[in-house]
Every structure is written in C-alpha cells, then in structure tokens.
Amino acid sequence: MTTATQTPSARVGISHPVVRIALVVILSFVLGGLTSYAQGFLPDEIVSFANSSSGWTVLTALLVYWSRARTVPAAVLGATSFVLLVLGYTVASQVRGYFYDPLFFSVVGVVAGPFVGVAASWMRATGVRAALGTALLAGIGVGESVYGLTIVHESTSPVYWTAIGVAGLVLLAGVLVRRIRGALPVALAIGGTAVVATAFFVAYTSL
C-alpha cells in the first residue's frame, strides 16, 4: 500500500507569496458565493453566520492570516478579500434568483477591510501589534454578539451570536496568555476590545 506525499515543488509553490495571494483572491470570491447558498441550508441556530458582517470578517481574517502577508500587503489583501466576498455573494444570489445590491458592503470592505487584514497579519506578531490586532478582531466578535443578542434577538437564534462573542473572548484570552507580555500591550488588548465592541455596536445600531 502506498501513501500520497506532497512533493517539495508543490510545497514551495503553495508557500510562494504570489500563489498564496492568488488563492486568497479566488477563495474569497468562492466563499462569498457559498455564504449565499449557506443561507438556504444552514440550521437556524447558525444561519446568522452567512447573514452577518462578522461572518465575512472571520473569513477575511482567516484568509489573510493564512497568506502570511505582511502589514501593507495584508491591508490591500484585506480590502480585496472582503470586497470579493461581497461580489461572490452577489453573483451567487443572482444565480439563485435573488437581487442583492453590493454597494454598501463593498464600501464597508474598502474602508474596514484594510484594518481587518492588518489585524490578521499582526496576529503572528507579539507585544503591541498582537494586542492591537486582537483588539480589533475580538472587538468585532463581541460587538456583533451584543448587537445580535439585544437588537435582532426576536428574529434570530441566539446560538450564533453567543458563539461569535465567546470566540472573540477566547481569542483575546488566548493571545493574552501566549503572545502578549507587559502592562501596555495587555491594557491595549483588553481596553481596545471593549472600545471596538462598543464602536461596532453603536455604528450598527445607527444604520
């Protein structure tokens, strides 16, 4: 019996920055399309993942983190990924027979995407950078959790909103334990998470 192994050339190819960026671009569009279809088959408890900004934020952050892009490329890739998620969702929705206007969330992607991309990149760092990256990503999760559990709780299940909030807090706790040392970075991570969560909640409720 033989086992398949990845050749050195394949490993080098996938690890090449240009290849990783190209894969992020392709996957962003594909995953965006899948979120549209996911609205039709995900159980009610977690369908909000496919119908919330935190869902696209999580996907953008994971893709940029995987790409290992540094700060400036990560900012560009964050915006590109988020916008392509929106466009993929738009195309898939049209194929399914639904109209979706991508303008608003495309603008959100252009404005917020660079910050999400940089935050994801800085999750590989330590100290202040790790603290700031964590604060943004954890704050978005906690902020949307509070929004979901208080503003749209009557029309949606609390399961996803609870899960995304817990995920944000677990991310914060994990980075505090493993990658952050010193009073200033700790304060930035904890305080920044609270500030971002509050800002997210206020911004979302004002829409």
- Provide the 10 A C-beta neighbour count for residue 42: 16
- Exposure string over 136-146, b if 16+ CB within 10 A, otherwise e: bbbbbbbbbbb
Backbone angles phi, psi at 46, to 5 degrees: -125, 10
Q: Each residue of 125-139: pLDDT tens digit?
A: 999 999 999 999 999
In whole angstroms, give the CA distance from residue 44 to residue 183.
42
Spatial contact of 14 and 20, defined as CB atoms under 8 Å apart? yes
Any idea which residue has 């979120």 for tokens? 35
Q: Is the pLDDT at 3 greater than 80, yes or no?
A: no
Spatial contact of 125 and 114, defined as CB atoms under 8 Å apart? no
pLDDT at 6: 54
pTM above 0.85, yes or no: yes
- What the block records as the tokens of 17 is 């920055």
Query: Which spans in the chain are helix H?
Result: 8-15, 17-41, 53-67, 71-95, 103-122, 127-150, 158-178, 183-205
- Tell me the average pLDDT across 40-63: 95
pLDDT at 1: 45
